[in-house]
């Protein structure tokens, strides 16, 4: 984890050496009203698998964005909801850093109640290759002490992720 933060520090340092100005500029009225909502529902699988995703984003300034994301998945007798809150900061035209929190909940099939399984802190960086492809490299560190999910499976405490959005 220490190496990851050293890597992020190096990215910030080198991007500032190339003349990038880090001052926040106020948004124009058209940018302030920009609220982005993206919802996706994936096809139901042969075994009844179901997955849905909702992302709501809002620009705070030209470089800073707030994002809320919810992901629902069902597989067999297991249902899980993942909710995250991220801050995204635009370092360069195509490069951004992100940091935030995430809560993962299992839904009890018998009672319908949600049980908090995991709380993560996440950080990473993203690069927009072109208008149709976004790559993000991130790290999630578990901060609570729960042992595992309802099936007894131990949840990994720390995860590196590579995500592509197209």
Digit-coded pLDDT (tens) for 24-65: 444 454 545 578 888 888 777 777 788 898 999 999 998 999
Domain count, the chain: 1
In angstroms, rounded to a whole number, what is the distance separating the alpha carbons of residues 89 and 64?
5
Mark out the alpha helices in the chain (DSSP H runs).
Answer: 2-17, 29-32
Report pTM.
Answer: 0.66
In angstroms, rounded to a whole number, what is the distance separating the alpha carbons of residues 40 and 165?
12
Buried b (16+ CB within 10 A) or exposed e, 132-160: eebebebbbebeeeeeebeeeeebeeeee
Question: In this predicted structure, what is the pLDDT of residue 51?
Answer: 87
In angstroms, rounded to a whole number, what is the distance separating the alpha carbons of residues 57 and 79?
25
CATH number at residue 125: 2.40.160
Range of the domain at 159: 30-42+49-165
Question: In this predicted structure, what is the pLDDT of residue 3?
Answer: 53
Examine residue 118 and state whether it is found in any structural domain, yes or no: yes
């Amino acid at each position: 984890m220490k190496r990851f933060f050293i890597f992020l520090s190096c990215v910030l340092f080198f991007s500032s050496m190339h003349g990038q100005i880090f001052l926040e500029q106020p948004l124009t009225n058209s940018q302030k009203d920009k609220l982005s909502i993206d919802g996706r529902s994936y096809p139901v699988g042969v075994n009844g698998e179901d997955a849905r995703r909702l992302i709501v984003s809002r620009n705070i300034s030209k470089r800073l964005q707030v994002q809320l994301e919810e992901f629902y998945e069902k597989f067999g007798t297991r249902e899980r909801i993942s909710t995250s809150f991220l801050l995204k900061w635009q370092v360069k035209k195509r490069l951004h850093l992100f940091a935030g929190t995430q809560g993962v909940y299992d839904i009890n099939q018998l009672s319908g109640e949600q049980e908090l399984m995991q709380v993560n802190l996440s950080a990473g960086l993203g690069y927009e290759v072109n208008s149709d492809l976004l790559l993000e490299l991130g790290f999630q560190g578990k901060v609570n002490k729960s042992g595992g999910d309802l099936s007894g499976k131990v949840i990994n405490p720390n995860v590196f992720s590579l995500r592509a959005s197209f």
